[in-house]
Amino acid sequence: MDKMLHIDPQRCTGCMECEIVCAVRCGASANPSLSRIRIFQWNRKPFFVPIACRQCEDAPCMAACPRDALYRDNFLDRVMVDYGRCISCRMCMAACPFGAIGFDPLRQKIFKCDLCGGDPQCVRFCYPGALAYVPVESVQYGHIRHAARRIRIGVKENGSWPISG
């Protein structure tokens, strides 16, 4: 993958602008439940974590699909949905380790991030800079480990996963 959606939870303010922009772009509605990106808030402290498809190299969602409806688009190296094959069984949702696949109950279809064809709108409208679409080799994981450490400390203090969303 040449570029990836990079998420920096330390910069996220929880404004949820990315959710609205994504929902409008993908579904012509400002309903954040139809967004391909979601903001989870950790309850103990004001700490927000944007969740979106990581376009996994060895995508568990693809392996779980009984109809091979999920496939890798080689142009942007992203995982896409072939709605002609999808039977909405939601096995991909269960297999995704990030919880990045959603389900639209009105259309009876799953949905996931498609990187907006290479110009992710969530990135364009993220004023705190928590989202970036960057070359893979430019990502440094030190600050991600620091954010994970902050989450782990919150879990130890509380004794449970303090997540809502």
Tokens of residue 151, six digits: 């989450």
CATH code: domain 1-52+118-158 is 3.30.70
pLDDT at 94: 97
- Write down the number of H helices and E strands in the chain: 5, 9
Residues whose CB falls within 8 Å of the CB of residue 78, separated by 6 or more in sequence, listed in order: 1, 53, 55, 72, 113, 114, 115
Q: Alpha-carbon distance 123 to 67, whole Å?
A: 32
pLDDT per residue as tens, the chain (165 positions) = 589 999 999 899 999 999 999 999 988 788 899 999 999 987 767 789 999 999 999 999 999 999 999 999 998 899 999 999 999 999 999 999 999 999 999 999 999 999 999 999 999 999 999 999 999 888 765 555 565 566 555 555 555 544 444
- Tell me, what DSSP letter sits at residue 77? T
CATH code: domain 55-112 is 3.30.70.20
Q: Alpha-carbon distance 29 to 20, whole Å?
A: 8
Query: What does the domain layout of the chain look like in residue ranges?
Result: 1-52+118-158, 55-112
